[in-house]
């Protein structure tokens, strides 16, 4: 039988960053920033979302930990967060450009989610594609 002090110590170890219990609640994803308008070099980043967490959370985590990745969004009252800028490049209605959200699934199928960054729940090893494009 474990003593209360030993049990408390064991529980504390489970809560430390990087511990197996915490890692099992992380869903690894990669974020690919591409540009179909100017053919600028692609950039790839890795991050994670918590189990059943939204893409926006993973993007914020990446922005907080990597100075090379920045993004901005506006909050639409009907549709939620709308991605407006990635790494300093903003969409422009006059130039008919925008940031497109695509997801390459582990089976290599690329989908266009029917929700945005504030509602999309990534699966493990999803490749999130933020593509600058024209409409």
Can you read off the two tokens belonging to residue 62? 């990446």
Can you read off the two tokens belonging to residue 47? 């991050």
Cα gap 82→91, rounded to integer Å: 11
Out of 12-16, 22-26, 58-62, 111-115, least confident range? 12-16
Can you read off the two tokens belonging to residue 99? 């940031």
DSSP 41: P
Out of 17-21, 26-30, 61-65, 110-114, least confident range? 17-21
Closest CA to 80 of 52, 55, 61: 55
Question: Could you read off the pLDDT of 2-23 as tens digits, one per residue?
Answer: 455 544 444 444 444 444 444 5
How many Cβ atoms are within 10 Å of 132's Cβ, its own excluded? 21
Decide yes or no: CATH 2.60.40.420 for domain 26-134: no
Q: Which residues contact 56 (CB under 8 A, 6 or more apart)?
A: 73, 81, 117, 118
């Amino acid at each position: 039988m474990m003593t209360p002090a030993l049990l408390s110590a064991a529980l504390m170890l489970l809560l430390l960053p990087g511990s197996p219990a915490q890692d099992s609640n992380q869903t690894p994803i990669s974020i690919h920033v591409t540009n179909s308008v100017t053919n600028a070099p692609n950039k790839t980043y890795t991050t994670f979302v918590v189990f059943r967490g939204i893409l926006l959370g993973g993007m914020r985590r990446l922005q907080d930990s990597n100075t090379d990745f920045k993004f901005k969004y506006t909050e639409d009252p009907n549709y939620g967060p709308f991605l407006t800028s990635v790494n300093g490049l903003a969409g422009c209605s006059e130039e008919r450009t925008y940031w497109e959200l695509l997801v390459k699934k582990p089976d290599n199928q690329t989908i266009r989610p029917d929700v945005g960054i504030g509602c999309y729940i990534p699966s493990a090893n999803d490749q999130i594609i933020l593509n600058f494009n024209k409409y």
